[in-house]
């Protein structure tokens, strides 16, 4: 019995020893494999840290809006009797756009004018009699009050009729018509939009620390992806009197020349404000930088080894960013593939793919 127990324990020991031995061997092989993988050269693309002239400027995204723009609507109810414009027309101020049916109102006006005429005759007769002292002053006062009331009724009816002749309040370009002949319009129904397009406003926001660089009448240039090869020039027209406490940004408005009326309200565009100073900065593509909460880093390649380095970034322009501290001119910096690197990784350079490095790229965010 004791002999069998010994044999059983030996067998169990051999099995457990084999299992633990295999696990130990497996762990060693995995460690060896991972170690060999870590020493394998990682393929990256690189760029040179170059010193470039950096023209001090401010870029911002904003929205175009008309200097004067309105959705023309009916102030009174009525049936559309005449439409005197086409969608997209350029119109002058005061041009008749829509006429509402007003026959009943004109007839009522004629009746009110007759009442006013009678009231005037009555007042003139009472006034003469008052001069002759044949009637009391109170009678003449009542006649005068009736005359003024009748004249007011006429003016009120004339104003009511005028509201049925809807005119352009200022010169500009009409949008697409929203009414048809014979349509009943309720008060407030939109008929057509009217926009004054030259000049045109450009509204944008800047952080509060940029306010010292902005002043009224400062020249600006705006580029739209609709006309990528054309700059629209203008000036700073107004700076808001307060800073938004939630974003610490301030709204700024510029006016732009738009003689050809190529810019339309609601369009997106990019504004550039030249600050008139030129500096030199080491410049890299923005994709080179790894942004972290503890600091911004790049990988510098020396003798086939990647060295992680902290840098201080400055202003940006297009695809580029200025490096204020941490790099020297001419150093080789990893521009793509840095996510698979760690400090001391071996690298193999393949520059078949290079990230965009344009200082003034053509935006295409809303081409669709």
Q: CATH number of the domain at 93, please.
A: 2.40.50.100
Q: What is the pLDDT of residues 79-130, one digit of tens each?
A: 999 999 999 899 999 999 999 998 888 888 899 999 889 989 988 988 888 8
- Has residue 39 got a pLDDT over 70? no
Instruction: Please list, residue by residue across 230-264, b when 16 or more beta carbons sit within 10 angstroms of its beta carbon and e when fewer do.
Output: eebebebbeeeeebeeeeebbbbebbbebeeeebb
Burial class (CB in 10 A: 0-12, 13-18, 19+), 321: buried
Q: What is the pLDDT of residues 223-234, one digit of tens each?
A: 888 888 888 999
Question: Does residue 339 lie within any of the structural domains?
Answer: yes
**Domain, as residue range, for 226:** 60-66+199-277
For 170, phi then psi, to 5°, come to -155, 170
Question: Does residue 176 lie within any of the structural domains?
Answer: yes
Look at residue 365 in the predicted model and tell me its pLDDT.
42
Q: What DSSP element (H or E) covers 109?
A: helix 103-131
| Residues 83, 93: Cα–Cα separation, whole Å | 16
CATH of the domain at 330: 2.40.420.20
Give the mean pLDDT of the chain: 84
Look at residue 366 in the predicted model and tell me its pLDDT.
37
CATH of the domain at 133: 1.10.287.470
Question: pTM to 2 decimals?
Answer: 0.61
15-29, 88-102, 347-361: range with highest mean pLDDT: 88-102
Indicate the pLDDT class of residue 33, thresholds 50, 70 and 90.
low
Please identify, among 277, 301, 329, the residue that sits at the C-terminal boundary of a domain: 277
Indicate the pLDDT class of residue 368, thresholds 50, 70 and 90.
very low
Do 223 and 255 fall into the same domain?
yes
Indicate the pLDDT class of residue 175, thresholds 50, 70 and 90.
very high
Contact by Cβ (8 Å): 178, 192: yes
Please identify, among 222, 243, 277, the residue that sits at the C-terminal boundary of a domain: 277
Do 285 and 317 fall into the same domain?
yes
Residue range 41-60: mean pLDDT, rounded: 81
Counting the structural domains of the chain, the total is 4
Helix (H, G, I), strand (E, B) or coil at 27: helix
Do 88 and 168 fall into the same domain?
yes
Do 272 and 345 fall into the same domain?
no
Query: Residue 177's closest CA among 93, 249, 85, 267?
Result: 85
């Amino acid at each position: 019995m004791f002999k069998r127990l010994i044999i059983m324990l030996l067998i169990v020991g051999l099995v457990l020893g084999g299992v633990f031995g295999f696990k130990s061997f497996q762990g060693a092989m995995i460690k060896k494999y991972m170690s060999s993988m870590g020493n394998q050269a990682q393929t990256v693309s690189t760029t040179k840290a170059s010193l470039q002239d950096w023209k001090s400027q401010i870029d911002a995204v904003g929205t175009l809006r008309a200097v004067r723009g309105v959705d023309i609507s009916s102030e009174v109810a009525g049936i559309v009797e005449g439409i005197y414009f086409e969608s997209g027309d350029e119109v002058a101020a005061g041009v008749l756009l829509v006429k509402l049916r007003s026959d009943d109102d004109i007839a009522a006006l004629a009746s009110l004018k007759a009442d006013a005429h009678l009231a005037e005759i009555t007042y003139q007769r009472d006034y003469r009699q008052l001069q002759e002292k044949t009637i009391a002053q109170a009678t003449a006062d009542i006649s005068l009050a009736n005359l003024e009331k009748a004249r007011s009724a006429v003016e009120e009816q004339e104003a009511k009729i005028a509201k049925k002749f809807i005119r352009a309040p200022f010169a500009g370009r009409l949008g697409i018509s929203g009414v048809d002949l014979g349509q009943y319009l309720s008060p407030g129904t939109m008929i057509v939009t009217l926009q004054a397009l030259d000049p045109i406003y450009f509204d944008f926001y800047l952080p509060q620390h940029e306010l010292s660089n902005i002043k009224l009448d400062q020249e600006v240039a705006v580029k739209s992806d609709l006309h990528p090869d054309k700059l629209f020039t203008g000036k700073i027209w107004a700076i808001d009197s307060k800073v938004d406490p939630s974003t610490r940004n301030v709204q700024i408005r510029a006016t732009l020349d738009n003689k050809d009326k190529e810019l339309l309200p609601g369009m997106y565009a990019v504004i550039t404000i030249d600050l008139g100073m030129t500096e030199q900065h080491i410049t890299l593509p923005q994709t080179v930088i790894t942004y972290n909460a503890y600091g911004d880093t790049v990988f510098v390649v020396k003798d086939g080894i990647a060295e992680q380095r902290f840098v201080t970034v400055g202003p940006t322009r297009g695809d580029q960013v200025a490096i204020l501290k941490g790099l020297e001119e001419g150093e080789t910096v990893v521009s793509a593939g840095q996510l698979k690197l760690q400090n001391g990784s071996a690298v193999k350079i393949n520059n078949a793919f290079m990230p965009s490095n344009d200082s003034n790229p053509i935006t295409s965010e809303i081409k669709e």
